Amino acid sequence: MSRYHSYKTIEQLPDLIGQEVTLNGWVSDKTDKGKLCFIKLRDGSGIVQCVAFRPSIGDELFEKAHSLTQESSVSITGTVRSESRAPSGVELDITNINIWQISKDYPISPKEHGTEFLMEHRHLWLRSTRQHAIMRIRSSVVKAIRDFFDGNGFRLMDSPILTPSACEGTSTLFETEYFDLGTAYLSQSGQLYAEASAMALGKVYTFGPTFRAEKSKTRRHLTEFWMVEPEMAYFDLNDDMDVAEDLVEYIVQYVLKTCPKELAAMGRDISKLEAVRRPFYRMSYTEAVDWLNKNNVRLNKKQADGSEIQIDFPWGDDFGAPQEEAIMQQFDKPCIIHRYPTEVKAFYMKRDPDNQKVALAMDMLAPEGAGEIIGGSQREDNYEELLARIQHENLPVDAFQWFLDLRKYGSVPHSGFGLGVERTVKWISGAEHIREVIPFPRMIYRIVP
Ligand code: 4AD
Ligand code: MG
C-alpha cells in the first residue's frame, strides 16, 4: 500500500482538528503519569504531544505506548484535539500505535554532551531540536537565494568541481591525480566559469560546493562549503554592490517570514534581523583604515626579538577578524567595504582607473560578529592587464588561456561576487559555530561521519 496520499505531517495538524490521522515519526520523549502516558512525537515537520489514557484505550494499547523509548520509530493514529497550552496548539488522542522499531540505548540523551561527542554522532545529532531548526533555516536560505536569482532574470549555470587551475590563491588547493592529464584541483570557486557563462547568457549564477584546504581552525571556516556566485555582463562595481545588498535583504526577510518557529527555537533576537533593510552601509578600505586609527584600534606587531608592540594599522595590510569586528561594532546592519589594496586581492580583479593601488573589490561584512559573508569585484576585462596579473602571481598561463580568451572576443565590463551559504546561515540562525550549519561538516580535523 502506498502511504504517499494519506501521509499527514505534524505541521498540518492545526488544519485537521477533530479528524483522525496517522502520523509517522520517532519518539523524542515520553512521560508516564499513572493512567496517562505522554509521548512527544517528531516527524521532521514538527513535534506534537500524543496522549494515551488507559481507561479509554485499554490495557494492550496503553502497554504499547508505555513500551516506547527515545527514538523508537512509530506510526501513531489519533484524533487531533485543539489544546491552547501546547506550543503547536494541538494534541493527539491516541487510538492506535504501530511500532516499527524499539530503539535501545540511544546515545544522545537530554543531558549535556560535549561538542566532540555530538560531532562524532552528527548522523544522530541532526534529530535534535536545535539542529533541526538550523537545517530548516538553511533550507530556507537556499530557497531564498534561488528564488531571488530565478526571479531577477539570472540563469543557473553549473560550474565544474574538478578544475585544472587555482582561482583563489594556490595555498588552499586540494589536489588529485587526473588520469594522464596531471593534477586536478577541487574548485575553490566557480567564478572563472561564471565569467564565461555570463558572456553567453548575460546574468548567471553558479551554486555548488567549493573547497579550500584552509589551515584555519576558526568558527567561520570549513574545508567544504557552499557558495552562490552571480556574474553579470555590463555591470560595474556599484551595480555589483547593489545586487549584493538586494540579495542579502531578500534572504533575511524571507527567513523571517518562513522560519519564525525555528528562529524562536534558536533564541534569535528577531529585531536585529528586521533591521536588515537597504540601504546597507558602505565605506572604502581607506576610510576603514582611517576609522581604525582614529578610534585607536591598534595592531599587535611582533618584533625581531619576539616582543610585541602596538602600532597604527598600516595601509596595505589585509583586515583580519579583529579589524572587521571593530569596524562592525558601530553598525546594526551589513556594511560593504570596497576598493581594497590590489596586492591583498585576487589576480582577476580590475584596478580602479582612478587609483591603481586599489582593486575594484568589495566584501560584505555582517553585524553581530558574523564577519565576511560576501567577497566580490569588478573583473579585469583588458587582455594585457590580466595576462600581466597572472604572470605577476606566477600562475600557469597555459591553464588560463581559455579565461584570457574572454578578453579577446567581445570583452565587456563585468562583475560578480560569492556569498558563502554557511557564513550566512550561521549569522541569521545565531548558531555559534559554522560546523553546526551544514549537515555533515568537513574541517581539517574531521571527515567522519
Ligand atoms: O571571498 P571569497 O574567497 O571569494 C571568491 O571565492 C570569489 N571567487 C567569489 C566571486 O567573486 N565569485 O569567498 C566568497 C565567500 C566568502 O565571503 C565567505 O562567505 C565564503 O565564501 N567562504 C567560506 N565559507 C566557509 N569556509 C571557508 N573556508 C570559506 N572561504 C570563503
Ligand atoms: Mg574573501
CA distance 359 to 75: 60
Nearest CA to ligand 1 atom 9: 418
Per the DSSP assignment, residues forming a β-bridge with 40 are 29, 49
User: Does the beta carbon of 230 lie inside 6 Å of ligand 1?
Assistant: no
User: Does the beta carbon of 189 lie inside 6 Å of ligand 1?
Assistant: yes
Q: Residues near 75 by Cβ (< 8 Å), separated by ≥ 6? A: 22, 23, 24, 25, 97, 98, 100
pLDDT tens-place string over residues 332-381 = 999 999 999 999 999 999 999 999 999 999 999 999 999 999 999 999 99
User: Does the beta carbon of 371 lie inside 6 Å of ligand 1?
Assistant: no
R_g (Cα) of the chain, nearest Å: 27
Going by C-alpha positions, the residue among 111, 99, 205 that lies closest to residue 157 is 205
User: Does the beta carbon of 205 lie inside 6 Å of ligand 1?
Assistant: no
Q: Please tell me the distance between residue 418's alpha carbon and the centre of ligand 1 in angstroms.
A: 6
| 3-state DSSP assignment of residue 123 | helix
C-alpha distances in Å from residue 50, one per residue of 19, 99, 128:
14, 14, 19
One-letter amino acid of 302: K
pLDDT tens-place string over residues 374-433 = 999 999 999 999 999 999 999 999 999 999 999 999 999 999 999 999 999 999 999 999
**Do 240 and 232 meet the contact criterion of CB atoms below 8 Å apart?**
yes
User: Does the beta carbon of 149 lie inside 6 Å of ligand 1?
Assistant: no
Q: Residues near 329 by Cβ (< 8 Å), separated by ≥ 6? A: none
User: Does the beta carbon of 221 lie inside 6 Å of ligand 1?
Assistant: yes
Instruction: Determine the pLDDT at residue 148.
Output: 99
User: Does the beta carbon of 418 lie inside 6 Å of ligand 1?
Assistant: yes
User: Does the beta carbon of 441 lie inside 6 Å of ligand 1?
Assistant: no
Q: Please tell me the distance between residue 384's alpha carbon and the centre of ligand 2 in angstroms.
A: 25
Query: Binning pLDDT at 50, 70 and 90, where does residue 87 land?
Result: confident
CA distance 69 to 105: 9
Task: For the chain, count helices (H), then strands (E).
Answer: 14, 20
User: Does the beta carbon of 373 lie inside 6 Å of ligand 1?
Assistant: yes
CA distance 167 to 189: 6
Cα 197–Cα 220–Cα 278 angle in degrees, nearest 5: 65
Q: Residues near 264 by Cβ (< 8 Å), separated by ≥ 6? A: none
Q: Which of 227, 378, 425, 433 to mutate to test the pocket of ligand 1 (most atoms within 8 A of CB)?
A: 227
User: Does the beta carbon of 379 lie inside 6 Å of ligand 1?
Assistant: no
User: Does the beta carbon of 423 lie inside 6 Å of ligand 1?
Assistant: yes
Percentage of the chain surpassing pLDDT 70? Answer: 100
Instruction: Determine the pLDDT at residue 110.
Output: 80
**Do 417 and 230 meet the contact criterion of CB atoms below 8 Å apart?**
yes
CA distance 362 to 220: 19
For residue 252, give the H/E element and its range.
helix 237-258
Per the DSSP assignment, residues forming a β-bridge with 159 are none
Sheet holding 281-284, edge to edge: 155-156, 203-211, 224-233, 414-420, 371-378, 361-366, 335-338, 281-284
Nearest CA to ligand 1 atom 2: 375
Q: Please tell me the distance between residue 211's alpha carbon and the centre of ligand 1 in angstroms.
A: 10
301 has a pLDDT exceeding 90: no
pLDDT tens-place string over residues 238-284 = 999 999 999 999 999 999 999 999 999 999 999 999 999 999 999 99
Phi first, then psi: what are they for 280, rounded to 5°? -85, -175
Alpha carbon of residue 171 to chain centroid: 23
Instruction: Work out the average pLDDT over 299-309.
Output: 90
Phi first, then psi: what are they for 240, rounded to 5°? -60, -45
75 grid coordinates: 506510526
| Closest ligand by atom to 221 CA | 1
229 has a pLDDT exceeding 70: yes
Instruction: Work out the average pLDDT over 138-149.
Output: 98
User: Does the beta carbon of 222 lie inside 6 Å of ligand 1?
Assistant: yes
Q: Find where cell 575553490 sits.
A: 188
Q: Find where cell 606566477 sits.
A: 394
Query: Binning pLDDT at 50, 70 and 90, where does residue 318 land?
Result: very high
- Write down all domains in the chain, each with its CATH number in brackets: 3-101 (2.40.50.140), 122-436 (3.30.930.10)
Q: Please tell me the distance between residue 421's alpha carbon and the centre of ligand 1 in angstroms.
A: 9
pLDDT tens-place string over residues 115-127 = 999 999 999 999 9
Task: For residue 364, give the ligand 1 atom closest to its CA.
Answer: 17
319 grid coordinates: 583586515
Q: Please tell me the distance between residue 241's alpha carbon and the centre of ligand 1 in angstroms.
A: 16
Nearest CA to ligand 1 atom 24: 420
3 has a pLDDT exceeding 80: no
Instruction: Say which residue, 170 or 62, is predicted with more confidence.
Output: 62
Q: Parallel, antiparallel, or unpaired: how do β-strands 175-177 and 183-186 relate?
A: antiparallel
Instruction: Determine the pLDDT at residue 1.
Output: 60
Q: Is the dihedral of CA 207, 208, 214, 219 positive or negative?
A: positive
| Closest ligand by atom to 195 CA | 1
Mean residue pLDDT across the chain = 96
